[in-house]
Chain A
Amino acid sequence: MTNIAIETKGLKKAFKATSVLKGVDLEVRRGEIFALLGSNGAGKTTVVNILSTLLKPDSGTASVCGFDTQRQPERVREQISLTGQFAAVDGMLTGHENLMLMAELRSVSNPTQIANRLLNQFGLSDAGNKRADTYSGGMTRRLDIAMSLVGTPAVIFLDEPTTGLDPEGRLEVWKTIQKLAQGGTTILLTTQQLEEAEQLANRIAILHDGRIIASGTLNELKQLFPPAKLEYIEKQVTLEEIFLAIVGNKTAEVAR
């Protein structure tokens, strides 16, 4: 078995005339938290949707746990779990019923036990028998993530898990994700915030203008950054500054 959980090669995707992905190469190792960083509209959701078999790329390949997303979508679906950009919980059902639904669909052997354990783990025990449309944003997102854990998938996609949450809800979700990582699950998360990637991820890739313009650990990314500048702004480096620096470097190289 290889150490690679997710791999894309030359992924291209256009919507009508707009070319969104122009050749995306990614490699995510088993058990790591990998952050795909990019500004709004960069194509993060498009990458996640291709990896979770919801969308077909125009060209290039994507595979999850060695299964090709286009040729073996059923096998891929058995490995993954998607927590989309907008929480996909059934508001008419209670938190417990939502989890039971996932458990039944994934044919886990002890659905009630799993549902109760997850409610507990995500601090939703008291709200378990309330309808999900009465939950706060943070609670909804936690239920959403809990639903993704039913059946212990090998790979989890979290598409902007904290966008739209207040600071408190954001911290709750961060804690949740950190705990997940300890369980050995591979996580690909997308975010617009460098801070979030920094808090959670082992490795980071920056998606910009349809390509991965940089990837590596946070320290490796910082190396790409002019040292003088780094001292000056210390840890307050924003995504914008990093990629502006990288894009700037590239233009400089070309000029030379």
Chain B
Amino acid sequence: MNVLRDTVILFKRSMRHIQHSPDTIITVAIIPIMIMLLLVYVYGGAIKTSTGTDNYVNYMLPGILLMSIASGVAYTAYRIFLDMQKGIIARLHSMPVSRSAVLWGHVMTSLVSNAISLMIIFLVALVMGFRSSAELTAWLAAAGILMLFTLALTWLAVIPGLTAKSIEGASGFSYPLIFLPFISSAFVPTATMPALVRAFAENQPVTAIVNSLRALLGGQAVGSDIWTALAWCIGVTIFAYFFAMRAYKRV
């Protein structure tokens, strides 16, 4: 039995799903792109004055990227749910196939397909005027944080994928996550928000992650936000992995 080998085979299998219907990647990218267009070209003038930035695309791109990941992982829950429903997981479990590879194949697929969606959004942002003076190491750090964030939300998505009773139940968990960037520092500074909302916004993970990404891509010092961001990503990953494995044992 070979976890790595089986993971690669099952990863290739669900990547082939995406090949057969690439619209899943487009669908994931399209809503964040629309919101980006809306924020920049419709509300942009008004927002710009309150943020005090001269390049609003730079300002909001990190939040848009996180939103894309939050909606992208819903597909992981959906694919695992379908595999459960169709008896494909049972079939794999009756074969000489590593059990954990069955989940890791989906997790790997999530990492890769979300990265492709992010790249599409990124290209659109470039056209819209995104510019960065960051060095390579800062870029790599930003990519690393995005990957960790994807990993954390993907393991979170595994839980409803394994336990949901319906397709809606499997993907519904992602809706609140998609909206988290709106109540954070992603699109407007938190300072203008009402006290209670502001307290939530400043202490929820998206703010620390967005601030870190913004600093990294802007070629500025990241400060302590990056540690908060890393702690959130790693913490959620461990928490979600634990509960996902617990749910998996009951399958």
Contact = CB atoms under 8 A, between A and B. Distances in A.
Given A84-B87, A91-B86, A54 B94 contact: yes
A70 B41 CA distance: 63
B96 interface: yes
A77 B9 contact: no
A196 interface: no
A53 B16 contact: no
A187 to B, nearest CB: 15
A192 B145 CA distance: 56
B73 to A, nearest CB: 19
A25 interface: no
A58 B20 CA distance: 43
Contacts of B165: none
A80 B13 contact: no
- Most chain A CB within 10 A, of B20, B87, B93, B96, is at B96
A101 B20 contact: no
B94 A105 contact: no
Given A74-B1, A93-B13, A105-B9, A81 B21 contact: no
A82 B90 contact: yes
Given A93-B17, A97-B16, A54 B93 contact: yes
Contacts, number: 61
Nearest to A80: B94
Contacts of B92: 105
A38 B193 CA distance: 66
A49 to B, nearest CB: 8
Given A74-B96, A88-B86, A106-B96, A101 B13 contact: yes
A131 interface: yes
Nearest to A78: B96
B96 A90 contact: no
A81 B13 contact: no
Interface of B: 1, 6, 9-10, 13, 16-17, 20-21, 86-88, 90-97
